[in-house]
Amino acid sequence: MPNLQDEIGKKQPFDLPEEEAYLNVRRSAATLESFFGRLFRKAGLSEATYNVLRILRAAGDDGRCWGEIRQDLVVPVPDVTRLIDRLEKTGLCERQRSVTDRRKVFITITPKGKDVVDRLDEPVRGMLRGRLGHMNEGDLRKLSSLLEQIRDQDT
């Protein structure tokens, strides 16, 4: 199995193991994003719009406010409003003003939106198994733990 140095044609070893680890994370993320991006594009979605639909499906009939959706996104995006506008325009979600607080607007998934995300469940699971299934559960948990340690530096 080629290592990162070989994959990118780097002649000299990395100066810092932190640099090599960072570039490995980026390279792996880019590889996964490419595969999943193609899957989502076939359904007319981006990774971000798919993520919003999953959040809305989990919220059920209550929906979620814009800020909650923004907070729950796996990969932050600069303009959640535009994502929601796009989903609403295609009939995948809708806005509903709160009856108790007119300042609050809840976004809910439509039946059409739920159908789109439901139909992606099995292909996403298959892609996950295909890209990560060669690793055992212990290794996957260790990988997740190591990645969480990187993010814990922010808190």
pTM exceeds 0.95, yes or no:
no
Q: Are 69 and 104 in contact (CB under 8 A)?
A: no
Give the whole-angstrom CA distance, residue 95 versus residue 148. Answer: 34
**Fold adopted by 17-125:** Arc Repressor Mutant, subunit A (1.10.10)
Q: Contact 57/69 with Cβ under 8 angstroms?
A: no
Domain ranges of the chain: 17-125
Per residue of the chain (155 residues), what is the pLDDT tens digit?
Answer: 778 888 888 888 889 999 999 999 999 999 999 999 999 999 999 999 999 999 999 999 989 998 899 999 999 888 899 999 999 999 999 998 878 887 889 999 999 999 999 999 999 999 999 999 999 999 999 999 999 999 888 66
For the stretch 29-37, contacts whose Cβ atoms lie closer than 8 Å and that sit 24 or more positions apart, written own/partner, are 31/131, 32/131, 35/127, 35/131, 36/124, 36/127
